[in-house]
Structure 1
């Protein structure tokens, strides 16, 4: 007769919660859990990754994309430690993730045993729920509470299981709780709505909307409000795609990766309406503007920037209520001026994309990807200069754009694409990676091959950690430690059993993308791009210009092209 042990119960509970796959690596302290997964492989898939960090990053990306629980698994000691970076990505981007970590047997805990690590202390800062399961009797209630908390607080829950506990048989009298979470809508208070309407109904004010990822799913309501107010919309980077980039009300992003039009609009704003964002780079926000902030989480109101009216509620329902109460603004002068600025910006971007150059410009690669991407494609963007090229030169319509927005961890692009293809097997999925970011996680490209995930990885290969090179130069320093020695990534793809395409000429970029899209199999397109193309910010600060001038002077001196008088060499 089949008797359930702790591992069986754990996996059955995951299935009850609707979990259909787990990312991880097998190992001795989790052998019982792996066996339980094997026995239930018709209901829940085990996705074997080559590095636990990739598994945690994939779990985080899956949660960001779907809102469902992402689950990752690591062995005691090093495996659990490897999960940590991906879990911090989930924490900072408010994604519900469950991490299951093995632990040494209870009989040897506290004895500095082989691979013993204090997991409670290790995960204390990253987790909203952090518990070691030391008895099968507590297991069902603890598992349910962990998942319930991860969903309720949109964060990371960690469960550590000593190997002997997962092997113990379950007692027939073990109490079970319900594997479910109650959900409800967060509605604003009437007097807060009154204050917001009073501010927005002022007819002689320049109103700018700053929309964050909290506005995702509220496109219709957001655009209706913007139309009534005559207000342009600026998007935070995590909110890229909330409205189409080419929409006449859209001014693109803000900050170093943003647009000049957005920067100018912020400087001219009389009223700033922040929706679903706690924007951190406050230097780009208006110095003097009446500010309204709408967020589902009261803790985010006024967290980083002084606000005059805070309103707690969900974006979609709250904006729908506002649309019934705000008056139509007849004046479109400010909106027209902002749109004219944005048209100039697009002209500038197009000139950069089409500029003649002996090497392939990264701006052109991003634009070519825009031409190839289907309407519902998912783009998993890595961190670095590639983020700039994607943010500015890939115009989203209905594509889903994800990245490591708050942790900004290199290497997130590939795991995010793996998760996206598992979440949406029918959709086209791209990973946009710099060579530095891809090099960190490239071992897990074989995971895509193993599970026949037809992701298209586009590597912007410039043999540099180029954003850091630019940062060094802006500080007035000489470039140091940023050069990369790369393999042929296309040949690597072929060695993994996938398609590999190496592109060295501009005219071959689009054909390569078409070939990869038609192949319906994992592919790496290794594009050799210009290394010295600068991710110039939309508004160059004086300090940046001075720093870069210092860098150029130092570079000329190092190369012996300039000889200074002795007194200036001191």
Structure 2
């Protein structure tokens, strides 16, 4: 029989689930749990300056590693701050655990100081959302929360009054364990047979693949090579599917290439492989479709599937490779040629000199110093489109807020990347608007000695919104933002800052940043040209 505090059980179970760090800020309703963490060396507490940073970093860690990201907060305002990061995890389907404090258990429901109805607040953002009523429940509810986060690929919220962490509990035998059995989902033979008929009949098949290709890239490439299909990679799959593969004709849609858009319009068969691509206007009007996804709810959700294959991507593609007939390469070669011309134009754009540095110049310089195993954390805004167009990734890892597309995700992603991979080069690409939304946590990178390079595309404008306003026929309004000396800010935090107003400055700054033992901000002044023109 064991007689220990409930909080100590939480620590032991987190270690059993291979949790080695969490993000949080100490406070009133989690002080007893903080005391348990103080006594534990195997779990690193990363003190962030804003709980949103912690939740976004936890989500980014899960995206990068596949392991659960963990964050924590006090009741009330701290819990509210978590929401953006938890929604990001839910939309991008990654496991996150949020341990959320609550007022003392005897005061819940009395409208006490900082008390909110947390269960109601997290109901939409979480796949598991429960309040622990008694200390004896805590270990088993923690197991259930983490298991649900993994099973449903989303955030689990465990709400705990702080006094419960310090209560002693006796356990003769555990009810549950820290074991999660990963299901192996294989395709049905009849679905493969139906898909093969469509593929063999098609003259112009196009494959649109997403982040579900992770772990199945070799099979994906072998499949497109056999059926001689152009390959379009969804933007979240950048870094997973190599940009330089000869079949890859780029991304699709606002972030995409003209060859990808044209090939999709001409396609007589669309094969959606591990993607829930939502932009119907960029897909064919009436071409048949094969949709392969591990989640049956996604199949046919955004485009009418003719054949659905509920399966992991790797075994489904393997079965198709063995069954389909080889095709001629006329359609493929046409679009490989178009992609080559597109790439040549982009190269000209990057080489063309101008009086004021342009965004593509920044990306050309970043490309030169990018390690083969680097991690790139991308923020949201016009920088997203520039990066989609000009930065080429092969085996580098890439992290962003895809479905929620929340500004301010670049720095938390870089923090998570450096904690996950301390020996890898980490670069964050962010606009001045996105970086300033959460730049206070640059000091977190400094505090924990996390060398990274933050490249700020500084045009003193919310560029993408300006273009959207103008596209609607409206005059641009309230898109200018006051300038900040980001290099001086970095130095004030104890890091390193460089200002780059031309390519020579930038090249020098990037080289020095790569050798730095401290986090670096490069304030790169760029022309405020629209990425959509």
The two structures have a TM-score, normalised by structure 1, of 0.92
CA distance in 1, matches of 2:382, 2:214: 25
The residue correspondences of 1:32-43 to structure 2 (distance < 5 A) are 32-40=32-40, 42-43=41-42
State the shift of 1:352 in Å: 1.8
Q: 1:3 to 1:498 in 2, by over 3 A?
A: farther
CA distance in 1, matches of 2:496, 2:123: 42
1:507 pairs with 2:507: no
In terms of mean alpha carbon deviation, does 43-52 or 6-15 score higher? 6-15
State the shift of 1:521 in Å: 2.0
In terms of mean alpha carbon deviation, does 8-17 or 456-465 score higher? 8-17
Q: Deviations 1:226-268 (Å, cap 9, x if unpaired)?
A: 1110101001110112222122100110001100000010011
SS in 2 for 1:478: coil
State the shift of 1:3 in Å: 5.9
Q: Deviations 1:90-138 (Å, cap 9, x if unpaired)?
A: 0000010000100001211111110000000000011111111121111
Structure 2: gaps spanning 5 or more residues = none
Q: Deviations 1:48-77 (Å, cap 9, x if unpaired)?
A: 000000000000000011110000000010
- Which position in structure 2 is the counterpart of 1:326? 324
**Does the aligned pair in 1 maintain the 2:253–2:282 contact within 8 Å?**
yes
In terms of mean alpha carbon deviation, does 442-451 or 101-110 score higher? 101-110
- Which position in structure 2 is the counterpart of 1:380? 377
- Which position in structure 1 is the counterpart of 2:15? 15
**Does the aligned pair in 1 maintain the 2:250–2:260 contact within 8 Å?**
yes
State the shift of 1:370 in Å: 1.3
- Which position in structure 2 is the counterpart of 1:359? 356
- Which position in structure 2 is the counterpart of 1:486? 483
1:534 pairs with 2:533: no
The residue correspondences of 1:284-363 to structure 2 (distance < 5 A) are 284-329=282-327, 331-363=328-360
SS in 2 for 1:157: strand
State the shift of 1:176 in Å: 3.9
Number of aligned residue pairs: 532
1:67 pairs with 2:58: no
CA distance in 1, matches of 2:316, 2:365: 38
Structure 1: gaps spanning 5 or more residues = 538-570
CA distance in 1, matches of 2:200, 2:162: 63
- Which position in structure 2 is the counterpart of 1:547? none
- Which position in structure 2 is the counterpart of 1:26? 26
- Which position in structure 2 is the counterpart of 1:461? 458
CA distance in 2, matches of 1:511, 1:279: 39
CA distance in 2, matches of 1:189, 1:439: 50
CA distance in 2, matches of 1:298, 1:340: 36
CA distance in 1, matches of 2:232, 2:467: 26
The residue correspondences of 1:122-137 to structure 2 (distance < 5 A) are 122-137=121-136
1:525 pairs with 2:522: yes
State the shift of 1:174 in Å: 6.7
1:254 pairs with 2:252: yes
CA distance in 2, matches of 1:378, 1:433: 14
Which segments of structure 1 move beyond 3 Å, counting only runs of 4 or more?
172-176
State the shift of 1:46 in Å: 0.2
- Which position in structure 2 is the counterpart of 1:240? 238
**Does the aligned pair in 2 maintain the 1:146–1:159 contact within 8 Å?**
yes
State the shift of 1:356 in Å: 2.5
The equivalent position to 1:404 in structure 2, one of 401, 406, 410, is: 401
**Does the aligned pair in 2 maintain the 1:137–1:174 contact within 8 Å?**
no
SS in 2 for 1:138: helix
SS in 2 for 1:404: coil
CA distance in 2, matches of 1:81, 1:174: 36
CA distance in 1, matches of 2:428, 2:240: 19
- Which position in structure 1 is the counterpart of 2:106? 107
CA distance in 2, matches of 1:461, 1:174: 59
The residue correspondences of 1:48-87 to structure 2 (distance < 5 A) are 48-87=47-86
CA distance in 2, matches of 1:338, 1:173: 67
CA distance in 2, matches of 1:223, 1:156: 32
1:118 pairs with 2:117: yes
CA distance in 1, matches of 2:441, 2:373: 25
- Which position in structure 1 is the counterpart of 2:206? 208
**Does the aligned pair in 1 maintain the 2:499–2:505 contact within 8 Å?**
no
The two structures have a TM-score, normalised by structure 2, of 0.98
**Does the aligned pair in 2 maintain the 1:136–1:171 contact within 8 Å?**
no
**Does the aligned pair in 1 maintain the 2:213–2:241 contact within 8 Å?**
no
**Does the aligned pair in 2 maintain the 1:98–1:157 contact within 8 Å?**
yes
**Does the aligned pair in 2 maintain the 1:266–1:284 contact within 8 Å?**
yes
